[in-house]
Amino acid sequence: MSKARYDSQQLNDLVIQMMETELGGEQVYRTAIACAINPDLKKEWEEYLEETLTHQKVVRGLCDTLGLSPDTQTPTRQVVKHIGESLVKAMQMAQKGADPAAAQLVAAECVVHAETKDHANWELLGKVAEAATGDLGKALKAAHEAVEKQEDHHLYHTKGWSRELAIEAVGMPAVLPPPEEVKKVETAIGASRAEQQREAML
């Protein structure tokens, strides 16, 4: 079977989108932390913020490898920036309301939105890394391996927080911290299994 090919221009565009996603992610986490009232959730997001700052450095390194300026503006980057700013504004709107628990839930939902894009970026980079060869292939694989598990953690754990906070908001018993957190989930299958076990954890 022949080696899969990829479009190098699209790879450049992906990496520029990734740069903006990580920069926007920093602002999303800073705002979400200000909305967090559950101490476990706040601590979790503080850790994710630190990891996001590290991910920015990893993507800057990829920009160097590809000969790109990390400040390059593209139409797709503008869309990513707009969405990130919209998530921050949504949290700020929620903070102006009278209910801190509602603002915390909005923050969890916004982090899930941001991390869904972030996770998809790194997944796609992993696919390109499998096809790429030589020094570029090594650089892409190294970047992907350095970040992938953390991205899984960010998405699946925050999805769990978002679900349990929503369940709590409608007055039903919630598992906090969520099963994904307790079981240290790092895969989609693991997240599904953890959610199925939540009833036993109530």
Residues 6+ apart with CB under 8 A from 44: 157, 158, 161, 177, 181
- Contact between residue 118 and residue 59 where contact means Cβ atoms under 8 Å apart: no
User: Between vectors from CA 47 to CA 63 and to CA 114, what angle results, nearest 5°?
Assistant: 60
For the stretch 85-105, pLDDT in tens is 999 999 999 999 989 999 999
Length of the chain: 202
What is the pLDDT confidence band of residue 2, given thresholds at 50, 70 and 90?
low
For the stretch 108-161, pLDDT in tens is 999 999 999 999 999 999 999 999 999 999 999 999 999 999 999 999 999 999
The half-sphere exposure of 61 on its side-chain side, counting CA atoms within 13 A, is 16
The whole-model pTM stands at 0.94
- Contact between residue 163 and residue 201 where contact means Cβ atoms under 8 Å apart: no
For the stretch 5-59, pLDDT in tens is 899 999 999 999 999 999 999 999 999 999 999 999 999 999 999 999 999 999 9
Domain coordinates of the chain in residue numbers? 8-147
Class for domain 8-147, per CATH? mainly alpha
Ramachandran category for residue 6: left, alpha or beta (phi over 0 → left; psi -120 to 50 → alpha): beta
- Contact between residue 149 and residue 186 where contact means Cβ atoms under 8 Å apart: yes
